[in-house]
Amino acid sequence: MTDKAATDLSCFKAYDIRGRLGDNLDEDIARIVGQGFAEALGARRVVLGRDIRASSESLAAAVAEGLTAQGADVLDIGLSGTEEMYFATTALGADGGICVTASHNPMDYNGMKMVKAGSAPLDPETELGAVKARAEAGGFAPAAKPGRVIASDDVRGAYVERVLSFVDVAALRPLKVLVNAGNGAAGPTFDAIFAALEAAGAPIEVERLHHAPDGSFPNGIPNPLLPENQPVTAEAVVAAGADLGVAWDGDFDRCFLFDATGAFIPGEYVVGLLADAFLAKEPGAKIVHDPRVVWNTLDVVTAAGGEAVQSRTGHAFIKQKMRETNAVYGGEMSAHHYFRDFVACDSGMIPWLLVVELMGRTGKPLAELVDARRAAFPSSGEINFRVEDVAAAVARVEAAFAPGAVARDDTDGLSLAQADWRFNLRASNTEPLLRLNVEARGDAGLVAQKVAEITALIAG
């Protein structure tokens, strides 16, 4: 084991692990992370999954070595989405779960997402911190009885059954759906879900794009949130004459939607759509949202008689808030969608199914379901800035707008609201970026104006 493996654990981020291969993440580091996870959590049975990246198989094998060295049995679900690890951790009664994935990060990165028993997130300060501290300390004594690696790839059937429990197949109407897996891990899992839909008589037609898992990512890293990556799906939707387009990132825990014209639907409007759908089924329920873009969600939830609950951005914080409040659904504008009845975790497969059901129930195309909301509450989309001094940039923006603000919120970064527009400015939890979101009441021109003003202030 190298000295670097024992000392450089800068791959530990705010709520998961993400590092550059050969720099702050390699097999040695993965092994001691596995050992630290087993010891810090007292885990004896751990679910292990991985995405399709070229490095994921060897990193997962190293994690398994670390876990078994400390006496933990590894329940190996193989190539899978992060959400399949979440589901399997509870379904198999494990003490924790790890998915080796870098999701949408560049080719030379990888990472790990972790949960404890019950698929609950690790507390960033205490539990994830304890895993890091134990891994940094090293000096692991081998277990008296090493653990075993047990193939557990038969859990997908139960996962598919749970996912399909969210929709009434009888409510589905004939629709054509274009799906773009981006050569990530989504393809095989989608095929299992769609086979079950067909067997249940769902009148859905599917066209697949970039479907085969391929760790070389011949069509680029799957990150449909980037505007430059959206035209390939948009054009395919139009060419196929599809009613709906669906695209996923590498580990498919995020789901991105396109209407029949190929228009990309920003995540905050999908949050409002799904919140409304859940409140129709469970009046008065709690809906968790992040603080970046909120006005559309608040308007929808209030009108539907629900209770909106704000959380810090990030999957660990959203999941914790959902568990604390028993919220039925939680959503982030970044296209993470969380479901109480899916172990309070995020899924990239449940959202598109719910939207297909909603289109079937209402008889309306997706554009008609969201266009009025987009006009009522236009937003900028998240704009990223690389700045040398984040604190100074935020201070300039605060000085300019705080004196006239009618509301301020510091839940996550700086949120300031005027009567007719609002912004959130926050440092990324996972990347060296400053992120800006601006929203307004019925005035897209005002959004553009305020983005320009704040951009100038950030630039100094």
354's tokens:
């719910």
Residue pLDDT, tens place only, 392-429 = 999 999 999 999 999 999 999 999 999 999 999 999 86
In the predicted model, is pLDDT for residue 7 greater than 70?
Answer: no
Residue pLDDT, tens place only, 342-397 = 999 999 999 999 999 999 999 999 999 999 999 999 999 999 999 989 999 999 99
**Is 22 within 8 Å of 122 (Cβ atoms)?**
no
210 belongs to a structural domain: no
User: How far is it, in rounded angstroms, from Cα 315 to Cα 88?
Assistant: 18
The residue segments making up the domain with residue 431 are 383-459
User: How far is it, in rounded angstroms, from Cα 113 to Cα 121?
Assistant: 9
Give the CA distances from residue 127 to residues 40, 41, 320, 412, 453, in Å, rounded to whole numbers and listed in that order. Answer: 7, 8, 13, 21, 41
Query: Is 151 in a helix, a strand, or coil?
Result: strand
Choose the final residue of a domain: 122, 155, 188.
155
Annotated active-site residue in 80, 103, 334, 347? 103
Tell me if residue 380 is catalytic: no
| Unique residue bearing structure tokens 């912004």 | 423
43's tokens:
């885990």
Which whole number is the average pLDDT over 430-453? Answer: 94
110 belongs to a structural domain: yes
In the predicted model, is pLDDT for residue 219 greater than 60?
Answer: yes
Structural domains counted in the chain: 2
Give the CA distances from residue 237 to residues 317, 352, 367, 369, in Å, rounded to whole numbers and listed in that order. Answer: 34, 15, 13, 18
Partners of 358 in the beta sheet?
A: none
What's the gap between Cα 333 and its chain centre?
A: 10
262 belongs to a structural domain: no
**pLDDT band, residue 59 (cuts 50/70/90):** very high
Choose the final residue of a domain: 109, 130, 155.
155
> What percent of the chain is helix, strand and coil (3-state, nearest 5)?
40, 20, 35
In the predicted model, is pLDDT for residue 14 greater than 90?
Answer: no
Choose the final residue of a domain: 155, 188, 222.
155
In the predicted model, is pLDDT for residue 457 greater than 80?
Answer: yes
User: How far is it, in rounded angstroms, from Cα 127 to Cα 145?
Assistant: 25
Residues above pLDDT 70, as percent of the chain: 98
**pLDDT band, residue 242 (cuts 50/70/90):** very high
314 belongs to a structural domain: no
**Is 251 within 8 Å of 291 (Cβ atoms)?**
no
| Amino acid at site 394 | V
Question: What was the pLDDT predicted at 325?
Answer: 98
191's tokens:
């095929």
**pLDDT band, residue 4 (cuts 50/70/90):** very low
**Where are the strands (E) in 36-103, listed by range?**
45-50, 73-79, 96-100
User: Over the chain, what is the mean pLDDT?
Assistant: 96
Residues contacting residue 225 through CB under 8 Å, at least 6 positions apart: 104, 249, 254, 256, 267, 334, 335
105 belongs to a structural domain: yes
Q: What is the pTM of this model?
A: 0.95
Cα end-to-end distance, the chain, whole Å: 46
Sign of CA dihedral 188, 189, 190, 193: positive
User: How far is it, in rounded angstroms, from Cα 347 to Cα 353?
Assistant: 11
Which whole number is the average pLDDT over 157-162? Answer: 98
Which whole number is the average pLDDT over 146-164? Answer: 97
Nearest of 352, 339, 272 to residue 304 by alpha carbon: 272
123 belongs to a structural domain: yes
CATH code for the domain in which residue 96 is found: 3.40.120.10
102's tokens:
């870098």
What angle, 0 to 180 degrees and rounded to 10, lies between the N-to-C axes of helices 267-281 and 350-362? 70
100's tokens:
């080796």
What is the C-alpha R_g of the chain?
22
Output 28-31 pairs: Cβ under 8 A, ≥24 positions apart.
28/1, 28/2, 28/4, 28/62, 29/4, 29/5, 29/135, 30/59, 30/60, 30/62, 30/63, 30/66, 30/100, 30/112, 31/1, 31/5, 31/62, 31/63, 31/65, 31/66, 31/69
Nearest of 380, 390, 360 to residue 422 by alpha carbon: 380
Query: Is 147 in a helix, a strand, or coil?
Result: coil
Question: What was the pLDDT predicted at 430?
Answer: 62
Residue pLDDT, tens place only, 85-120 = 999 999 999 999 999 999 999 999 999 999 999 999
Question: What was the pLDDT predicted at 374?
Answer: 97
32 belongs to a structural domain: yes
289 belongs to a structural domain: no
Which whole number is the average pLDDT over 309-320? Answer: 93
CATH code for the domain in which residue 405 is found: 3.30.310.50
- Please list the alpha-helical segments (H only) found in 241-327: 267-281, 295-303, 315-325
